[in-house]
Amino acid sequence: MSDDPFALFDAWFAEAKASEPNDPDAMALATVGGDGRPSVRMVLLKGVDRRAGFTFHTNSRSRKGRDIAANDAVALMFHWKSLRRQVRIEGRVIAAPEEVSDSYFASRGRQSQLSAWASEQSRPLESRALLEERQAAMAARFGGGEIPRPPHWHGYCVEPRTIEFWSDGAHRLHDRRLFTRTGDGSWSEGRLYP
Protein backbone atom coordinates (compact mmCIF):
# COMPACT_ATOMS: atom_id res chain seq x y z
CA MET A 1 0.00 0.00 0.00
CA SER A 2 1.15 3.53 -0.72
CA ASP A 3 2.53 5.81 1.98
CA ASP A 4 1.51 8.82 -0.16
CA PRO A 5 -2.14 9.77 0.49
CA PHE A 6 -2.56 11.38 -2.94
CA ALA A 7 -1.27 8.27 -4.73
CA LEU A 8 -3.58 6.11 -2.64
CA PHE A 9 -6.51 8.45 -3.35
CA ASP A 10 -5.76 8.32 -7.09
CA ALA A 11 -5.76 4.50 -7.00
CA TRP A 12 -9.01 4.30 -5.04
CA PHE A 13 -10.65 6.97 -7.21
CA ALA A 14 -9.71 5.04 -10.38
CA GLU A 15 -11.34 1.93 -8.91
CA ALA A 16 -14.43 3.94 -7.94
CA LYS A 17 -14.75 5.33 -11.48
CA ALA A 18 -14.77 1.73 -12.75
CA SER A 19 -17.25 0.36 -10.19
CA GLU A 20 -19.59 3.11 -8.98
CA PRO A 21 -22.82 3.25 -11.02
CA ASN A 22 -23.28 7.01 -10.50
CA ASP A 23 -21.07 9.97 -9.66
CA PRO A 24 -17.87 8.47 -8.26
CA ASP A 25 -16.70 12.10 -8.01
CA ALA A 26 -19.53 13.03 -5.60
CA MET A 27 -18.30 14.15 -2.20
CA ALA A 28 -20.05 15.45 0.88
CA LEU A 29 -18.84 18.95 1.79
CA ALA A 30 -19.32 20.01 5.42
CA THR A 31 -19.02 23.68 6.34
CA VAL A 32 -19.66 25.76 9.46
CA GLY A 33 -21.13 29.22 9.14
CA GLY A 34 -20.34 32.34 11.10
CA ASP A 35 -23.21 31.40 13.43
CA GLY A 36 -21.46 28.13 14.34
CA ARG A 37 -24.10 25.97 12.65
CA PRO A 38 -22.83 23.08 10.51
CA SER A 39 -24.21 22.22 7.08
CA VAL A 40 -23.44 19.42 4.65
CA ARG A 41 -24.27 18.84 0.98
CA MET A 42 -22.99 16.92 -2.02
CA VAL A 43 -20.67 18.58 -4.54
CA LEU A 44 -18.59 17.16 -7.37
CA LEU A 45 -14.82 16.82 -7.33
CA LYS A 46 -13.40 18.64 -10.35
CA GLY A 47 -9.70 18.16 -9.74
CA VAL A 48 -7.17 16.77 -7.31
CA ASP A 49 -3.44 17.29 -7.05
CA ARG A 50 -0.78 17.48 -4.38
CA ARG A 51 -0.38 21.25 -4.64
CA ALA A 52 -3.96 22.51 -5.00
CA GLY A 53 -5.75 19.79 -3.06
CA PHE A 54 -9.35 18.82 -3.88
CA THR A 55 -11.18 21.27 -6.17
CA PHE A 56 -14.90 21.98 -6.56
CA HIS A 57 -16.86 24.92 -7.98
CA THR A 58 -19.90 26.77 -6.68
CA ASN A 59 -21.77 30.03 -6.31
CA SER A 60 -20.02 32.13 -3.64
CA ARG A 61 -23.42 33.59 -2.66
CA SER A 62 -24.80 30.14 -1.80
CA ARG A 63 -24.93 28.96 1.79
CA LYS A 64 -21.71 26.98 1.34
CA GLY A 65 -20.03 30.00 -0.23
CA ARG A 66 -21.10 32.23 2.66
CA ASP A 67 -20.02 29.59 5.19
CA ILE A 68 -16.58 29.32 3.57
CA ALA A 69 -16.20 33.12 3.63
CA ALA A 70 -16.90 33.05 7.38
CA ASN A 71 -14.87 29.93 8.24
CA ASP A 72 -12.36 28.29 5.91
CA ALA A 73 -12.27 24.99 7.85
CA VAL A 74 -14.18 22.25 5.99
CA ALA A 75 -14.49 18.49 5.73
CA LEU A 76 -15.04 16.28 2.67
CA MET A 77 -16.17 12.69 2.45
CA PHE A 78 -16.29 10.27 -0.46
CA HIS A 79 -18.40 7.14 0.03
CA TRP A 80 -18.00 4.43 -2.56
CA LYS A 81 -20.60 1.85 -1.62
CA SER A 82 -19.68 -0.58 -4.41
CA LEU A 83 -16.14 -0.79 -2.99
CA ARG A 84 -17.16 -0.58 0.67
CA ARG A 85 -14.73 2.29 1.11
CA GLN A 86 -14.75 5.90 2.15
CA VAL A 87 -12.24 8.73 2.28
CA ARG A 88 -12.54 11.56 4.80
CA ILE A 89 -10.61 14.81 4.37
CA GLU A 90 -10.28 17.75 6.74
CA GLY A 91 -8.58 20.98 5.83
CA ARG A 92 -9.01 24.57 4.83
CA VAL A 93 -10.44 26.12 1.70
CA ILE A 94 -8.66 28.59 -0.52
CA ALA A 95 -9.90 30.18 -3.71
CA ALA A 96 -8.86 28.42 -6.91
CA PRO A 97 -6.93 30.58 -9.38
CA GLU A 98 -9.23 32.59 -11.66
CA GLU A 99 -7.94 30.74 -14.73
CA VAL A 100 -9.01 27.41 -13.16
CA SER A 101 -12.51 28.77 -12.55
CA ASP A 102 -12.68 30.26 -16.05
CA SER A 103 -11.46 27.06 -17.70
CA TYR A 104 -13.88 24.79 -15.89
CA PHE A 105 -16.82 27.17 -16.46
CA ALA A 106 -16.04 27.25 -20.19
CA SER A 107 -16.08 23.43 -20.27
CA ARG A 108 -19.62 23.20 -18.85
CA GLY A 109 -22.64 22.68 -21.07
CA ARG A 110 -24.45 25.80 -22.25
CA GLN A 111 -27.56 25.13 -20.14
CA SER A 112 -25.41 24.66 -17.04
CA GLN A 113 -23.65 27.95 -17.78
CA LEU A 114 -27.02 29.69 -18.10
CA SER A 115 -28.17 28.10 -14.84
CA ALA A 116 -25.18 29.60 -13.03
CA TRP A 117 -26.46 33.03 -14.06
CA ALA A 118 -30.16 32.29 -13.49
CA SER A 119 -30.02 30.69 -10.05
CA GLU A 120 -29.78 32.65 -6.85
CA GLN A 121 -28.50 29.49 -5.19
CA SER A 122 -29.73 28.77 -1.64
CA ARG A 123 -32.16 31.73 -1.66
CA PRO A 124 -35.94 31.20 -1.35
CA LEU A 125 -37.66 30.58 -4.71
CA GLU A 126 -41.30 31.55 -5.24
CA SER A 127 -41.99 28.98 -7.96
CA ARG A 128 -40.36 26.67 -10.47
CA ALA A 129 -41.88 28.86 -13.19
CA LEU A 130 -39.83 31.84 -11.96
CA LEU A 131 -36.60 29.83 -12.22
CA GLU A 132 -37.50 28.77 -15.76
CA GLU A 133 -38.29 32.39 -16.66
CA ARG A 134 -34.90 33.49 -15.33
CA GLN A 135 -33.21 30.72 -17.35
CA ALA A 136 -35.02 31.88 -20.51
CA ALA A 137 -34.06 35.51 -19.79
CA MET A 138 -30.38 34.50 -19.51
CA ALA A 139 -30.63 32.59 -22.79
CA ALA A 140 -32.04 35.73 -24.44
CA ARG A 141 -29.39 37.94 -22.81
CA PHE A 142 -26.47 35.91 -24.12
CA GLY A 143 -28.10 34.80 -27.40
CA GLY A 144 -25.82 32.42 -29.25
CA GLY A 145 -22.64 34.06 -27.99
CA GLU A 146 -20.12 32.98 -25.41
CA ILE A 147 -21.36 32.95 -21.83
CA PRO A 148 -18.81 34.43 -19.41
CA ARG A 149 -18.31 33.06 -15.92
CA PRO A 150 -20.50 34.96 -13.43
CA PRO A 151 -18.48 37.04 -10.95
CA HIS A 152 -20.01 35.08 -8.05
CA TRP A 153 -19.12 31.62 -9.43
CA HIS A 154 -15.76 30.28 -8.27
CA GLY A 155 -13.55 27.29 -7.84
CA TYR A 156 -12.42 26.33 -4.35
CA CYS A 157 -9.52 24.11 -3.32
CA VAL A 158 -9.49 22.13 -0.09
CA GLU A 159 -5.94 21.92 1.21
CA PRO A 160 -6.01 18.76 3.33
CA ARG A 161 -4.67 18.65 6.86
CA THR A 162 -5.77 15.04 7.34
CA ILE A 163 -6.87 12.30 4.94
CA GLU A 164 -8.41 9.11 6.32
CA PHE A 165 -8.92 5.96 4.23
CA TRP A 166 -11.56 3.55 5.55
CA SER A 167 -12.10 0.01 4.20
CA ASP A 168 -14.85 -2.31 5.34
CA GLY A 169 -13.63 -5.38 7.20
CA ALA A 170 -15.24 -8.63 8.29
CA HIS A 171 -16.80 -8.60 11.76
CA ARG A 172 -16.45 -4.80 11.91
CA LEU A 173 -12.66 -5.05 11.89
CA HIS A 174 -12.46 -2.15 9.46
CA ASP A 175 -9.15 -0.75 8.27
CA ARG A 176 -8.57 2.96 8.99
CA ARG A 177 -5.40 4.68 7.78
CA LEU A 178 -4.94 8.29 8.83
CA PHE A 179 -2.46 10.58 7.08
CA THR A 180 -1.65 13.87 8.82
CA ARG A 181 0.27 16.71 7.19
CA THR A 182 3.33 17.73 9.19
CA GLY A 183 4.84 21.19 9.59
CA ASP A 184 7.26 20.66 6.68
CA GLY A 185 4.45 19.60 4.32
CA SER A 186 5.22 15.88 4.40
CA TRP A 187 2.77 13.27 5.68
CA SER A 188 2.85 11.05 8.74
CA GLU A 189 0.72 7.92 8.79
CA GLY A 190 -1.02 6.06 11.57
CA ARG A 191 -3.89 3.66 12.07
CA LEU A 192 -7.13 4.15 13.98
CA TYR A 193 -9.23 1.60 15.80
CA PRO A 194 -12.41 0.86 13.84
Supply the residues annotated as catalytic: 172
- Rounded Cα gap, residues 54 and 162, in angstroms: 12
3-state secondary structure 91-112: EEEEECCHHHHHHHHHHCCHHH
DSSP three-state, residue 3: coil
Q: Half-sphere exposure of 31 toward its Cβ, with a 13 Å CA cutoff?
A: 21
Residue type, 91: G
